[in-house]
Structure 1
């Protein structure tokens, strides 16, 4: 490593560190500043490694004279001062008065020119950056010779000229705005600017100093053009920064040629950056001409407005999310592979269609069969089974399964509680995802030997099982979709069960309506018959009494039916006579030519109304024959 340039700095410590920082950017070897108080200068100068003395503006009157005396008494090194004081300088002492109003870089350039002789001046380097400085009026006061190579301006021509004469296309740019702001608030900034004449992209660091002066450090980053992000340090580090971006990124110039691709873009587009740099995007990807890439890129460049879109690029078999940012120098493009998200959305839409099919399925088995088909076709699962809980046997019964399962399982049988894993899923409601099944045991539920299994509960109705011969076959997206499908299946089973319950209720209602109509028809027929007789008879009193009894009987039946429908009628039991109950019921039934003959009697405990209704229904049946007897 080269020996450092060592400066004995007398004065404000912060200003000394500022000088060292500026020197580090101008030399190939390190610079060191030894910041000292004036009373220690003599002892420090005893070190032969000191190259010069620099007196800062914080010194008081007479301090420069004292520094001169110390140098005379010790060793011959040049002295530089920013105090503005006058000192008596004997022959042999080299002193340089610097302008305290100039930017530090200007004075540093003077210092280096005096300390380093012509032979060692080759040490001066602009490193990765080129340097220039301007005063408060934007007049150039220092100019890096390396700038001559690409601007054509020599230091003699540039110094004293206006910055905007040398760089006319920057006068109304973001750079000019930033310079004005730094003059007002101080500090430093960096930004990317474009030099139109040379077609160079330059990362520019701007530092403010006292009295409105500015220092500009310029780095050529043309090959690393980006979308305006902050560039730290050298171009190599900038490239590393772009490679750390999670999105794929590439930049095109105004001719739509690649100027940069990060590693993610190389991977996503399946290209090598060195093979496509300088190649037009449409030549590298001709299939993109007939897609939104062509339309949106051209629209962004024409309107200078950013654009965002999604496009399926068939040669890569990928869906891409594209965000493109235009500028007068080209187009910066960020890409993201969204194939998984798009596929997920398509699967969700297809599962939504499956929901409509499941809700009209007529049986549990049909629901299960449609579930297996949907899982195979939409989720691309190789083997699927639907297990339905059967309460009567306390088992999980297989309702439907993939054809591939038949190739490896002799028979799909109901699973008892000894198949603990599938039962644990059913009872806990927690899914089970096994990426590797080492062996098949007597209590295993899966169909034959498989490597991966995914079990998802379908509520109280059963379990959905998916199986594969691959390890770790089911990813997070698969699990999410399978859960969604299981919720749909649960709803379908629930609907089917409600419909079965409703069908049973309707059947009972039909039976009830039949009984009610039969019960009411008996007194109605009696009333109708006696009404006809009353019309033909001169004395209709007896017939009208019969009609009245029938109407009372109908009212009693209706009240009884309503009470039973509400569930608020209690059965009242009492001692009844079989003969009396039969005779009373016979009077309420139109038996035409039939007769009732009673032989003997019996007593029993029952509800009088229901016994009477029983006999009425019995007497009104078509099988009644004349001469009917009851023993």
Structure 2
């Protein structure tokens, strides 16, 4: 049986509408006031997986006892108790489809409509997935997100939330609800917050708030926010403004409550027409969609408002269909005001009272198309971001296993491929260990695991040896969460190699500057004091003026030597300008001529050609020769030779240097010679290191000092 309203119609109309209910794509069920089945259409019979003959007259909870205590019983009980429309969603595992069930009460009982929303569900899930990925790369969201402490002070508010109050996110920190909302709204917010903190459970509710005198409707979700120890320290909230949606829902709800029959309660436009397209009947939705009155529509032809399909195409479709066939089309309807909108239409050919009729159910798909376009736009934005970003972006899939999460590379952006020498095709589906080896792979996996455990973005600096070379990266990892589980990690890495090297070089320069400043300040003080004192004495005691003048000149010479050596060490000790082949025999001969060594002798044991900067190396050999002569009082033999493939030595037969003092002699300012600057051997060490050599001080076979240089590039011998 059908509702009393349908029974009061004339037989033809009742027959037509009954036929419609059998042909609609929705499941339709009617229950009396005792919740016993009075009508079940064919589609509902499929969805419920029960023959209507068995259901008719049966109490609903006897027929489906497993649904008691579920959202279905709650919605039906609420509809009967309040006489207001209710709805819920239901998944049919047998059909593998999702249905939205809407419950409408009237004086005869309840009407239930099962609408297939599988496509919408799939579209929503796909869009949600894309949004989650984009949200991991972007630092904000369209929804208002905030964090409060237990005292109700906002600790964080994203841009979407702060913009509701005309604030920047940082300006909202420290404010309370009383600073942002009217007093009534603030008091309600405070009560809900206190309840969430007391129960330590999440709360979701719909709330009306007034901001600057304007009414806003929000869908609020609040969760207890815990610290690392699990202690609730505040509240995290996500608010979605549904003001416009709520207004539309209220308008639609009021409209639906005025409908008295199953036919007019159908949410889709229904048009019944003959084989020529002349309209025989329409439902209320058709009237609302097109803007015509029902009387106007009954005098029209389908082709009067169907502008997406040509009249010839419509007629061909109707003519080629058999009774019982269904055709699915995409079209476009024109309203009375001239505006148009896209539709999906399902046309059924049937017989009513022996006459051929067509039932056309059409649906406005403006919003699904908008979502589809939005999804395409998001996809394009997502692709453009990956393809054009100047940072290395990578995606890592997180797969749960018994031993913990397993990580596999999913994709690299072009910059990542160019900077590291890796490519998406070769790394896709592989673990970090498989791509980069056990050591480096384990290091990367440890960072990924830390991100999963934190369930929040993490940042760190790392030095990685990739096929394209060793680089230093500033890396940020962000987890992507689906249904409460981290399923993917999005990583963004910025190459900071040049910056790190520049900072290290600046630190070294600053350290040298401090070092030289200390040396100059310390070592110049004594000769400066001597010069000042002797100048004063020469004035007070003219008889010793010549002696004082001699001492002043010695002090000035000493100061000049300190300054000269310091400048060599500071400006040129750590650099080489040009490398060229150098004859060791020629170079050492030139340097020996610069040393006052009347009683000393130079012996070149091995003549060879090395690669180096001749200007810098002159400082090396001159300092070594001068050091040997000065420490031996002039009577010394200095030998230069090779001690292996890449080792060059300079040794003397002087008194040598005790082992305990050998490390200290390379420090600036260290000297055991009276009148020495203490910079000579420091200059030797710095210039050697600038060539990539290492220098070691040891003892010669004669007992003297032996300096060995390793890493020398010997070109010929």
TM-score (norm 1): 0.33
Larger radius of gyration: 1
TM-score (norm 2): 0.30
Larger strand percent? 2
